[in-house]
Chain A
Amino acid sequence: MDPRRIKDALAALLLAGACAGLPLWLATEPVPDVEVRSVPWRTHGGRLPADRPTGQGFRCRWDGLRVIDVALVALAPPGEAEVELTLRGDDPGGTILRRARARPGPLEAPGEFVAFSFEPIERSAGRRFWFELRPVEGSAPSPFSAWVRFHGQPGHDATWGHRIVTGPVIEGALADHARVESQQDPGNVPHAHLRAVAVAADHLAAHEGTTRLELWPEGGTGEPLRTVELGAEQGIHGGWAFFSFPPIPDSRWERYRFRLTLPQTARLVGLEQGLSLKTFHGLDHGLDGAASRLAGTSLAGVVHADRDLLFRAWSSPDRAEVAALVGERAGWRLAAAALAWILATFLVLRLARTVADTERNRRQARP
């Protein structure tokens, strides 16, 4: 074989290795153990109460769990307010493993990830954890609220309002279909599998009285199609209250009316058009293992598996473990692409050599 070709091949290998290896070594983002990535951030649960901690469960992939970042937003001037994270094993009632505090300070709208660091947990791989958040001082709710991702596609998607709407009974149509039909609100598509209604609440404490949502088909009477009562653990201060129910498979373009029965103290939020509502559509089953690493949120220890906090957990994988994850997901593609990339580099080197030779010959041929 032509020794120049061998030289080129070795040079290509080195060059391609350096051009791929250096960025991989120096310019890659760290990989979180688990992360809920969901933009835009649509709903938050309201100011973190002192007496009903807000929690989230998850299963770790790697050993060395050391930091949990939670997406928070400041709903009141934060001052020096601190938030405490309690990390437990297994479930909301599990053994306390770590505590960590953070003073988020003034967060940029619409909020930021706030890091809670603690002594690494050596054997965290494959193990389930549960963390809970609560304000550090006093019994008043924290100025901070945690962002929540509900498991569903958004349908009707009202923004937070500027009017207070009070009960004890609020009734209305779930979505304004006339606006949708006439293209005034083209994005507001009522999908199938209606599974939750989120209501903007300035103050809604379910332990203060019955908090119930009933749904009927438009024009329907008699027994409601779905009835949901919020549990006593739900105390919402400036957040979205989720009324979650078994999905209605044929909800696409169906018209529903709702009735909310609320405690006397409840103050919901609305716009000129009415109550600020969001609907969610979808199913939980039929998904891959990624979703199953999340165990849902908890409120005062009561688990709600149909939603998650926006958070990310960091453990301490070594490079080989991250490489194994990438290899597992990319499979043969990674090897094939690497080969193609090295070959392309080799061809570029051959090209440079060929042009150089051609030019040299041309110059030599000149009189």
Chain B
Amino acid sequence: MTEAAAVSGARAGVSRRVWRLVMLAALVHGLAYLVLLPPWMGEDEPWHVEYAGHVGQGHLPWGGEEMRFGDRELMSLSQLQMRRKVEGLEAEEILRTQWALLDSMREHDFWARVDWAAWPGGAQSLDQVVEAHTAAHQPPLYYLLGGALLYVAGATDVEARMWLLRILSLVAYVAVVAATFALAERTCRDPWVAVACALLVAWWPMHARQAGVANNDVLVKVLTSWTLLVAVDLAREGITARRMVKALALCAAALATKTTGAAALAPVALACAWRGGRRATGWSARHRTLLVGATLAVAAAGVALWAGTDNPAVPRTMENVRMRLETAASPEFRWEFARTFVGAFNWYARDLPSSVAGALGAVGALAGLGLCAVLVRGREGVDRRTLAFCIVTVVAQAALVVLRGVAAGRYLMPALPALAVLACAGLLGPLPERRRPLAVALLGGGLLVFDGLVLWAGLVWNQYALWGA
């Protein structure tokens, strides 16, 4: 059976119409966030737009000019990093782009909205917004893709570039919802569960908000979620050369997008070692070892790529690793992570009342208990194998966040489909099938209320009502 046929077979339980409605609802919902989020209010957007803009002007994201001692007197650090990364970029072009970005940020009241942004008047470089910050150390794939889009569209204005990249983010958001729906169908035959999983991902406000943010996080989550899907198919349907190439290509693409894409390797490695598939039994231990080796080779290539570009996400010493682990163990880290995953605004400068995170934590704990019951006792129609892949993905993604030592909820987003499947399996799995529609209705209602709270009382209020003078 071909893969397309397998996918179509898996979707047979739920009508095509349901799938289309899910996608359409997600698209329209993402559009609401895209429209409402003011320009430059996505975290790190100016730097990502700057980088993609240069690539869109025909420069390659490698082969730039090395930094020399004394160069800092010529340009600021972020400008030098861009010159160092991007091929053939003249100082004039770098300066002009940053000035255009700052002008646009001033025009759109960036400083009124972001409480820690010091002062707009006279700023000449992005270092006067965040010192020494840059996107230049990021792997190149997102910028190649985004740059190609900007090139084709002929966008020269920085704001137009931002909006085009945001549209790409909207597409990425819908693609993640699609992956979640497909993953949920593989987890549970009950269409209510599949719908609940897709809605949870689509209506999780900080994920929906990513539909309107131009940065490379949006691409890495697409690649990770689709890799997970292929890994699950590898385990369910057996290892085929085509699936394996697809899985490794997705992994390589994730690694070439962002360090947080490394978690994509975990389910693939698990799938290579998995012995439960129908065809998988035909593969010898030697072949499996070779496949795991190939996965590790992709991982090594990714780490080499990051290390070669001085990516700050890669720890250089064991001392550095230890410090990051200590940071991640602190309550402040956990709170920062929780609030930026649940709902934070204006470049994480403001957030929701802590009671919201508490309430969601209680629902999460309930889902955890339910998941334990499903995993231990099993439930008819729930595929525990797929749940195992989801757990591995979430653990791997969380481990990366810990190793990175930076508490940003968006770093967990690549594992959001897996997390949603686990949460829905935990909340709905233990219930008898006839009770699930009511439970899904309650879950959906709760999501709508949560989304309303974040979008209208959080995002709109913080972006348009509460301004600093």
Which of B35, B77, B460, B466 is in CB contact (< 8 Å) with A336? B35
**23 chain-A/chain-B pairs, Cβ below 8 angstroms:** A15-B448, A19-B448, A19-B451, A23-B456, A37-B115, A38-B115, A152-B122, A153-B119, A154-B118, A191-B125, A252-B124, A253-B72, A282-B119, A290-B109, A294-B469, A326-B461, A330-B460, A333-B35, A334-B36, A337-B455, A341-B32, A347-B25, A354-B18
Type the 1/0 row for B26-38, where 1 means its CB is closer than 8 Å to any CB of A.
Answer: 1011011101101
- Considering only residues 10-33 of chain A, those with a C-beta below 8 Å from chain B are 15-16, 19-20, 22-24, 26-29, 31-32
B115 contacts A340, C-beta separation under 8 Å: no
Residues of chain A within 8 A of B131, CB atoms compared? 186-187, 189
Type the 1/0 row for B102-136, where 1 means its CB is closer than 8 Å to any CB of A.
Answer: 00001001001001101111111101100110000
Q: A340-B31, A354-B17, A354-B18 are in contact. Are A20 and B452 (CB under 8 A)?
A: yes
B15 contacts A358, C-beta separation under 8 Å: yes
Type the 1/0 row for B245-280, where 1 means its CB is closer than 8 Å to any CB of A.
Answer: 000000000000000000000000000000000000
Instruction: Considering the complex, give the chain A residue whose CB is closest to the CB of B21.
Output: A351
A286 contacts B17, C-beta separation under 8 Å: no
Residues of chain B within 8 A of A189, CB atoms compared? 76-77, 127-128, 131-132
Say if the beta carbon of A352 comes within 8 Å of chain B: yes
- Min CB distance A47 to B, Å, is 25
Please, how many angstroms separate the alpha-carbon atoms of A280 and B106 in the complex?
19
- Min CB distance B79 to A, Å, is 11
Which of B122, B453, B460 is in CB contact (< 8 Å) with A193? B122
Type the 1/0 row for B195-223, where 1 means its CB is closer than 8 Å to any CB of A.
Answer: 10001000000000000000000000000
A291 contacts B469, C-beta separation under 8 Å: yes
Given A286-B106, A358-B14, 4 more contacts at CB 8 Å? A24-B456, A32-B466, A187-B132, A338-B32
Say if the beta carbon of B360 comes within 8 Å of chain A: no
- Considering only residues 416-469 of chain B, those with a C-beta below 8 Å from chain A are 437, 440-441, 444, 448-449, 451-453, 455-458, 460-461, 463-469
> For chain A, which range describes its interface: under 10, 10 to 19, 20 to 34, or 35 or more residues?
35 or more
Residues of chain B within 8 A of A27, CB atoms compared? 353, 453, 457
Residues of chain B within 8 A of A280, CB atoms compared? 119
Say if the beta carbon of A348 comes within 8 Å of chain B: yes
- Min CB distance B247 to A, Å, is 31
Residues of chain B within 8 A of A26, CB atoms compared? 457
Please, how many angstroms separate the alpha-carbon atoms of A173 and B67 in the complex?
26
Which of A152, A181, A350 is in CB contact (< 8 Å) with B118? A152
Please, how many angstroms separate the alpha-carbon atoms of A151 and B31 in the complex?
37
Say if the beta carbon of A121 comes within 8 Å of chain B: no
Closest 10 CB pairs of A and B: A37-B468, A19-B452, A283-B122, A23-B457, A347-B25, A340-B32, A344-B29, A282-B122, A283-B121, A193-B122
Say if the beta carbon of B349 comes within 8 Å of chain A: yes
Say if the beta carbon of B24 comes within 8 Å of chain A: yes
Say if the beta carbon of A214 comes within 8 Å of chain B: no
Most chain A beta-carbon neighbours within 10 Å: one of B72, B76, B451, B469? B469
Say if the beta carbon of B364 comes within 8 Å of chain A: no
Say if the beta carbon of B192 comes within 8 Å of chain A: yes
Residues of chain A within 8 A of B73, CB atoms compared? 253
B18 contacts A351, C-beta separation under 8 Å: yes
Most chain B beta-carbon neighbours within 10 Å: one of A23, A247, A285, A293? A23
B21 contacts A290, C-beta separation under 8 Å: no
Type the 1/0 row for A276-314, where 1 means its CB is closer than 8 Å to any CB of B.
Answer: 000011111111101101100000000000001000000
Which of B32, B76, B109, B112 is in CB contact (< 8 Å) with A344? B32
Say if the beta carbon of A86 comes within 8 Å of chain B: no
Please, how many angstroms separate the alpha-carbon atoms of A189 and B191 in the complex?
57
